[in-house]
Every structure is written in structure tokens, then in C-alpha cells.
Chain A
Amino acid sequence: MTNNTFPEISIQTADFSLADEVALLEQNNAIDGAIVTFTGRVRNHNNGMNVSGLTLEHYPGMTEKSLAKIITIAKTRWHIGRVKVIHRIGELNIGEQIVFVGVTSKHRQDAFAANEFIMDFLKVQAPFWKKERTEQGEAWLDAKATDDTKAQKW
């Protein structure tokens, strides 16, 4: 199934509903038997510090372009149907949803692999930056070397 009109990328301040996103991935899509979704949330701790929330900055235009490239590569590597990537920006509190990746495919292996691939490359290529609010004040997060390692394994 081609999904030329399926909106694949959304950068938004608003929260999203997992149920609604799954429904959109399923709608008029009887060909795909598998749906794999990933949701990322704001943790209450990082590097041993209590986190009260964070602010997400991004580079409008490049964000969408980099995610589109990642999705295009995923589609060449696996037989997948629909893809949806949502990333929130702005002020977020503990427990709030930050990121959603949903992938459908005929069989589960393609959706599992493509979902993890998209998430791993989003982590190292999509221009988002987190600033954490802790008891010690605000601080920009440092990138993790382990994220580069994960992306390189693909």
C-alpha cells in the first residue's frame, strides 16, 4: 500500500494520544498485520539528579527534513507500510509524552526493526535539544556516546 497522503511527521507542542495514533495507522490498512509503537516520556531523574521537567528546542525546517530522510531510508531497508513520527517541543513536565514512533508492516520483524532504526537515528541526527530543570537550576543535556554506538550498529 502506498501512503503518499499519510502525514508522517508532526512537530508539536500539544500532547498526543497513543490510541488515536494507532487508529490512524490501522485505518483503511487491512494489508498490514503488524503495528509497532514506541512512546518516550520525561523521566524524573537523569545523571543522579532529580528532574522537574524540561524544555525542548528544535531547528524548524531541518527537523522535518532530517526525519523525512530517516523514514525514507527505513522504507528502503524494510518492507513497511505506514510510518508516523511525533516529537513534542516546548515545556514538558515529568511523565509527559515526548516522542512517538509508529510503524506498520505485513509481518512483525520489519516493523520492529524499522521502529528501532528510526528512533536510533532520530536520537543522533534530528536537531532537537533538551534543557533540564533540576534543583540545581537549568542545564542543557549532553549527548550520550551510547546513542552514537546504537545508531552505528545499523
Chain B
Amino acid sequence: MIKVVFFAALREQLDCSELMLNSKNISTIADLKRQLASKSEQWQALFSNTLLLSAVNHDMVNSEQKIKSGDEVAFFPPVTGG
């Protein structure tokens, strides 16, 4: 299983802060995004946003990053702290 967490505006727009996904057929961040986008038209629209950032086990990664069962993957908008 892969734990997926969402933050800030994305979390609110999805109305979801986290979910668990079977890691079968998912080997990269891009695969995971495709699977999440297939949930609904709204999820499709939100996950086609190219500004969306992703992290695996608390490290920022790009879409080619490999993922495996047990990983925690996060998706969030560009950060605005400071």
C-alpha cells in the first residue's frame, strides 16, 4: 500500500487529506497521478496542474521518481511560507 497525503488548497479542493492506494501497477509518481486523476473529472483537472509539487517520504521529487509499497507520497501546491 502507498499512503497519499494532500495539503493546503489541493486538500480542500479534493475534500480529502489522505488515502491509501494499492501499489500494484504504480511504479512512479506519474503512474500514481494518472490513477488519482481517473477518480473523477475534478480530480483529473486538479492533477493535470503542472505546478503541483510532489514529495516521497518527505523529500521533494519529480514525476519520474520511483515509488514502492510503504512509501508516503504527498501532493501540494507551490509553497508560500516565510
Which residues on A are within 8 Å of B, measured CB to CB? 40, 56-59, 61-62, 65-66, 87, 98-99, 119, 122-131, 140-143
Given known A-B contacts A62-B58, A127-B55, A142 and B76 have beta carbons under 8 A apart: no
Bitwise interface map of B from 1 to 40 toward A, beta carbon under 8 Å scored 1, else 0: 0000101110010000000000000000000000000000
Residues of the B chain whose Cβ atoms lie less than 8 Å from the Cβ of A141: 80
Cβ-defined contact, A129 with B82, below 8 A:
no
Which residues on B are within 8 Å of A, measured CB to CB? 5, 7-9, 12, 51, 55, 58-60, 74, 76-82
CA distance in complex: A129, B80 (Å):
5
CA distance in complex: A35, B16 (Å):
44
Given known A-B contacts A57-B8, A66-B60, A140-B9, A127 and B82 have beta carbons under 8 A apart: no
CA distance in complex: A130, B51 (Å):
17
Residues of the B chain whose Cβ atoms lie less than 8 Å from the Cβ of A59: 5, 7, 55, 58, 74, 76
Interface of A is mostly: mixed
Residues of the B chain whose Cβ atoms lie less than 8 Å from the Cβ of A99: 81-82
Cβ-defined contact, A129 with B8, below 8 A:
yes
Chain A nearest Cβ from B14, distance in angstroms? 13
Residues of the A chain whose Cβ atoms lie less than 8 Å from the Cβ of B76: 59, 127, 129
Cβ-defined contact, B60 with A125, below 8 A:
yes
Residue from B5, B74, B81 in contact with A123 in the complex, judged by beta carbons closer than 8 Å:
B81
Cβ-defined contact, B59 with A128, below 8 A:
no
CA distance in complex: A127, B11 (Å):
14
Give 8 nearest A-B pairs by CB, closest first. Answer: A128-B81, A143-B78, A129-B8, A62-B58, A140-B9, A141-B80, A123-B82, A65-B58
Cβ-defined contact, A122 with B77, below 8 A:
no
Cβ-defined contact, B58 with A56, below 8 A:
no
CA distance in complex: A131, B59 (Å):
23
Nearest residue, chain A, Cβ from B72:
A61
Cβ-defined contact, B59 with A124, below 8 A:
no
Residue from A62, A65, A122, A142 in contact with B82 in the complex, judged by beta carbons closer than 8 Å:
A122
Residues of the B chain whose Cβ atoms lie less than 8 Å from the Cβ of A125: 60, 79
